[in-house]
Amino acid sequence: MLSRIFCVPGITNPVYIITMNRLLSRIFLLIALSALLAHCRKKAFDDYYGRPDNLQPPIYQVLTAKGNFKSLLAVIDKSGYKDILSGAGSFTMFAPNDAAFQKYFADKGISGVSQMDSATAKQLVTFSLVYNAFLKARLGDYQSTAGWVPNNAFRRRTTWYKGFYNDSSYGGQKYTALASNRNNYFLFGDNNNKYTTYFVDNYFTAKGLTATDYNYFYPNTAYKGFNVADAAVLNQDIVAENGYIDEIDKVIVPQPTIDEYLASKPEYSEFRKLFEKYMVTYLMSTDATNRYKLLTGNTSNVYIKTFNTGLSFSPNNENYLKLQDNDGQSNGYTMFVPKNDVLLNYINSVLLENYPSLDALPTQVIVDFLNAHMWTASVWPSKFSMYNNSQGETPKFNTATDILDKQVLSNGFFYGTNKVQAANVFSTVYGRAYLDPKYLLMTRALDLNYRYVITVPTLKYTIIMMSDSVLRAKGYDWNSTRNSWQYTTPGTSTVTYDNGARDPLLRILATHIVPTPGGELDNISGSGIVETLNGEYIKYNAGTFSSAGTIDSAYVVNSKGMKTSSNGRVYYADNLLTFSSTALPNSIIKLGTPAASEFNYFYQFLKNASIYTPSTNTINGVQLGVFYTVFIPNNAAIQAAVTAGLLPKTAGGTPNFAPTLQVERDQVKDFIQYHILNKTTVVPDGKKSGTYETVYKKLLGDAGQITVSGAAGSMQVTDAYGRVANVIVPSSNNLADRCVIHLIDNYLQYNPN
């Protein structure tokens, strides 16, 4: 309450002096209290969040304090990275000292940083700067999505990337371009940063690597257990507020990709041409074009340089497989590149043996050739035998004599060579069809089932070649409209597609492939019988071949020439080795019908047997599509079985081919079935021996068995009682549908118990 009022002269309204003084005092007190409270709060904030007194300065300031990085600091200044390296962040910097820069200046023929442009300065700084802060002990570990994988990394992503650049196609078309940042495609938003490679002892020990591996690439630099490219680390794990510094004794410069390195080396221009002419496509990118315009103001279209999707990797991709974000830490690519002269010699003598030019060669052949030289793994010099390319092959190079050029590049290893990687698809018997335009259909069929069988270099094969003209004459062809095989019954307009055409073709194809580990078909001037890849047999005689189907059709396949490959040889043929469509009984009937035939008695028992059904031409227990071997006793042996009471006989002791008594009919049934091996074929080549089941079943249901033995050119068969029958070779090896029929000089007696 106011007690007294004073009037102030010159003021029209009265002022309450005492009240005003008290109010001002209270305001001043409130301000003072607020200031004190704010000071207390700031102190608490600083105590909790403020920069600790013991925290090291940022990278730039640490380098300044060290005193021996003056040139590097000048380069950082010129690059525009001073503020970045003076502020927050998380980096590892491989920092060349002043002595390292003096060597660099001398090599470049310049006096110092003043003669360096800002673009070069930026490259040096950003390639030396790795994302995230790593102690040396962590650089050997891989940052997987599942966590740290110890001792599994030797690369880290740097802050350097190339970005937009000027390029031109093989045909000379100019492009503003970006490199693909994934294998065979581009993902917008990824800068395709380069990686730097380092060599640390814990990684080397875990991987079984030694200084020899390092010095293979860098023969003039000693391996110290911690090297970055060809620089040695002098002082490691120097702490800074925004990361770690490793002092190195040499300036490391951005390494090219494999694609860039190839472009810079004229001695590999022929190999590069295979990529540039046949594997590269420039694809216009709207997103990249818009970004380019935003950054530069230039309205030119931007194109992505992409590679054929069939290649193992894109040589311009810095990101490895990108199956995980950081998988480039643990692996890279490898390419072996032959120099021009050896490559041209191989192209002309192998790839173009049957083609007029590379332009005429199927693109897939070029893809396979390039992939033979590409590995999606870092192939260390001492570990060549441990790495397979996409074709399952290790590098076929001698590190001491075949490698002329060794490079550690930003996305992998590069080896320049004085020889070609002779891929199995070209050097084996498969290559004889694959590299010949007359055998495109055969190649397509081989690719369905047998390519990876006959390209194994350690397994020997002989192939009877099936040309396109021969296949088409027999009714087989590829229907590109339906994308399927088709079969046209010769002389008709009846066409079968898909499995109905493919399955019989593959059976025929397998009959043309013969495993020959002992060189069984190296000489076909004589005669013999061999088992093919699918278990069926073919015969050869005086340079000709025959199969069950050709015998049915009364023709032979003539050999018109031969060539050798790394794992066997091929014979060029004028016709097709087909399979028989005739049931087994028909083949026996054909053999036994002539009255003078040694198969006649057996045939006569069969045609009247209870197990034979003439209307369906089948034998009970014998199924279509199953392998069988039939041992047919000759007439004298049949008579001996009749005399022994194992087969029915007449009153005069001769064979009773048409018995009526059930017991006698059962005798015939059991006798015939015991002479048929079930689910197997054997011939007198000495390759199969042992005890085999027959079609005959004992009283309790077990299969009757016989034993087969012999050597090349002879065979013996032993029955349940130890009686031996010899295969009469000149009258044997008769081919039927998945079956072989032999003539023997004795009968085989089954044991019913």
SS (H, E, C) 533-545: CCCCEEEEECCEE
How far is CA 487 from its chain centroid?
A: 33
Query: Which of these, 566, 562, 504, 560, lies nearest to 536 by C-alpha position?
Result: 504
Q: Is 20 helix (H, G, I), strand (E, B) or coil?
A: helix
Task: Report which DSSP code applies to 339.
Answer: -
Domain extents for the chain? Answer: 1-50, 57-159+233-253, 428-573, 584-744
Cβ atoms within 10 Å, residue 277: 14
Pairing verdict, β 628-633 and 739-744 = parallel
Where b means 16+ CB within 10 Å and e means fewer, 63-88 reads beebeebbbbbbbbebbebeebbbee
- Low-confidence residues in the chain, pLDDT < 50: 1-21, 23-24, 45, 48-49
CA distance 232 to 97: 11
Query: Which of these, 535, 737, 735, lies nearest to 625 by C-alpha position?
Result: 737
Cite the beta strand spans of 7-128 per DSSP E. Answer: 91-96
CA distance 556 to 198: 66
Q: What is the pLDDT of residue 18?
A: 37
Residues 6+ apart with CB under 8 A from 77: none
Residues 6+ apart with CB under 8 A from 18: 2, 3, 4
Q: What is the pLDDT of residue 55?
A: 86
Instruction: Output the pTM of the full model.
Output: 0.88
Q: Is 450 helix (H, G, I), strand (E, B) or coil?
A: coil
Q: Which amino acid is residue 743, in one-letter code?
A: L
Q: Which amino acid is residue 612, in one-letter code?
A: Y
Where b means 16+ CB within 10 Å and e means fewer, 650-684 reads eeeeebbbebeeeeebebbbbbbbbbbbbebbbbb
**Among 2.60.40.10, 2.30.180.10, 3.90.340.10, 3.40.640.10, what is the CATH number of 584-744?**
2.30.180.10
Pairing verdict, β 165-168 and 155-157 = unpaired
Q: Which amino acid is residue 179, in one-letter code?
A: A
- Four-residue CA torsion sign, 605, 606, 609, 615: negative
Cβ atoms within 10 Å, residue 539: 21
48 burial (CB, 10 Å; 0-12 / 13-18 / 19+) is exposed
Tell the CATH topology of 428-573: FAS1 domain (2.30.180)
Side-by-side strand order, sheet with 703-711: 724-726, 714-718, 703-711, 690-697, 676-678, 628-633, 739-744, 734-736
Measured in residues, the chain has a length of 753
Q: What is the pLDDT of residue 660?
A: 96
Q: What is the pLDDT of residue 15?
A: 34
Task: Report which DSSP code applies to 348.
Answer: I
CA distance 410 to 213: 18
The pair of three-digit structure tokens given for residue 449, joined into one six-digit string: 């089932």
Residues 6+ apart with CB under 8 A from 621: 611, 673, 676, 678, 695, 697
Fold identical between 57-159+233-253 and 584-744?
yes
Where b means 16+ CB within 10 Å and e means fewer, 280-293 reads bebeebeebbebbe
CA distance 359 to 363: 9
CA distance 477 to 300: 49
CA distance 271 to 276: 9
Residues 6+ apart with CB under 8 A from 90: 131, 132, 133, 242, 243
Cβ atoms within 10 Å, residue 375: 25
The pair of three-digit structure tokens given for residue 306, joined into one six-digit string: 């992409």
**Among 2.40.100.20, 2.30.180.10, 3.20.20.70, 2.70.170.10, what is the CATH number of 57-159+233-253?**
2.30.180.10
Query: Which of these, 303, 51, 35, lies nearest to 173 by C-alpha position?
Result: 303
CA distance 640 to 238: 101
Q: Is 293 helix (H, G, I), strand (E, B) or coil?
A: helix
Phi and psi, residue 256, nearest 5°: -75, 165
CA distance 614 to 181: 71
Interval 234-252: pLDDT, tens: 999 999 999 999 999 999 9
Q: With contact defined as beta carbons under 8 Å apart, do 55 and 49 qualify?
A: no
End-to-end CA distance of the chain: 135
Q: With contact defined as beta carbons under 8 Å apart, do 580 and 548 qualify?
A: yes
